[in-house]
A and B are shown apart, each in its own frame.
Chain A
């Protein structure tokens, strides 16, 4: 894990120079902030596989630093995670180490960074620049840092972004001692690439985004190593092998905001050669969120969320013909208490996420995921006994 991280940093030796540069910038506007999180997961059912445990504790440290000097913004965000059971969950990463320079309508960014594209809540189809840190949470919202050069131009016709992505990050997968894993496990050391450049393949991306009245629209194009690997069985049948193939993807994301209604759509068209049994496909996710604000003048909001997703690969994908229904509760109290409950319409997958601030600098979060009536041949069969409740306590200083 450490070696891979070193390769990642070396891949962008500029970041070292950048770090020196950051340290030289005036400390007057610079600021360090830290977060330590203790995370505890309890699995309700006994494990399916012999190496797995009943519960798991992890500690996560996240330092954040930023400085502004003239037209420049310098950022650093790191993460260190230690899991008591699954060493594949251990992580040291720099998700942000970048220099952003603004000149009139132009923006230039160089360094390790993260971008988010898209509007949907249940799936992030369009969001393709950063690799997913899948072992952080199965929702796939945690990302790894990505070396990049970005040039942006704002105009009356929207914002145009161009990215050069000179290094590829591999997805994280749970190890044999971890719950929420595949069977057999994914052996990340066996990773294969379609491109002979492997992780050094240079990827490109373009994006145009614009707001016209109630509509926020984004159109994106990506050419390079696909972030989601095709998993194949190893020759000795002991492992799943991640195969990273070359893809071209066109993405569209649209949100329409009308009063308390948010209408959302993401669609992608992906082309890939049939190397490693990969294929071209189309996928989409769309739906709405409607919020009842300040119910009975008590301050609380209740939002209803419904999203439907389609994937032309059918049953080979988790995201095909999936209707997700959810409810979001925000108390808008002093402790910012909120709760999101949701289930797929067939009841197979349910999730709960909630949080509440304790005092001024501690946040308590709860998360639960359940898997019900998972068929033997389902892609989720290896996780059918992995219903869990997670409590985490984060301290900010």
Chain B
């Protein structure tokens, strides 16, 4: 942990401040549903700031309507970037025909993400278009936008209700994507009222019909602060298919630097 990171320190100070702002002034000044929705999203963001770098193994189980399964395995390395979007490298281990293929992503808050693909048999690095947001990731029910880093400004937020989900208090929020080419008209998110992590998200297609439901299960806390779900279960209601994302071996403070997320690093990834 960087002890004297000013920005991080600020954010840590802001947690209790934001908390106080949410609890105290509400009785005095009425918050609009939009203001409350935004403040919940900001609080989620603040609580998930400062994790630095991490790696994990992602196993995907794709299930078709008849229940037939196929699997994917991807190792993912992440680097938090302050002042811009995060960086990541994904290394594909399964299926066997794409083994060794690796994907480098430099996300940006305002401009389009930069993405490169490494094809090991050809030894070729290809810069690819990042405008594919709504298409399926590796034939699964997760789209690229579902898996990209969740930034506050990517949506407008509106608080709907305080609810209970599996015996825990949650905030129900409506989120409308602000970025171009989203496959969704809106999403409804249920955010844990204590820890501010997502518990459930419903995705509505462009015709505003319910398309998919994502459930987050088995949350675990890392570095005594950051919560990660070990299971993310996506059900597509329109085609009957589902995809389970199972995360294994989450590690933080792995020592990744900016140079581990370059095109040179992409080529030497195994």
Residues of A within 8 A of B (CB): 33, 64, 66-68, 73, 75, 100, 102, 104-105, 107, 114-116, 119, 141, 152, 154, 159, 209, 211, 216, 255, 257, 259-262, 291, 293-294, 297, 299, 301, 332-336, 357, 359-361, 363, 394, 396-397
Contacts and interface: CB of A to CB of B under 8 A. Distances in A.
Contact of B127 (A255, A291, A332, A359): A255
A154 B262 contact: yes
Contact of B70 (A64, A73, A360): A360
Q: Which 3 A-B pairs give the minimum distances between C-beta atoms?
A: A396-B96, A294-B135, A293-B132
A299 B136 contact: yes
A335 B139 contact: yes
B96 A297 contact: no
Given A297-B205, A333-B139, A357-B97, A291 B122 contact: no
B7 interface: no
A141 B62 CA distance: 33
Contacts of B97: 336, 357, 361, 363, 394, 396
A260 B131 contact: yes
A115 B264 CA distance: 12
Contacts of A73: 268, 270
Interface residues of B, number: 40
Contacts of B154: none
B134 A293 contact: yes
A66 B123 CA distance: 14
Nearest to B71: A360
Contacts of B94: 360
A362 B70 CA distance: 13
Interface string B123-135: 1111111011111
Contacts of B135: 293-294, 299, 301, 332
Contacts of A357: 95, 97
Interface in B224-270: 259, 262-264, 268, 270
Contacts of B205: 297
Contact of B122 (A116, A299, A359): A116
Contacts of A259: 112, 129, 131
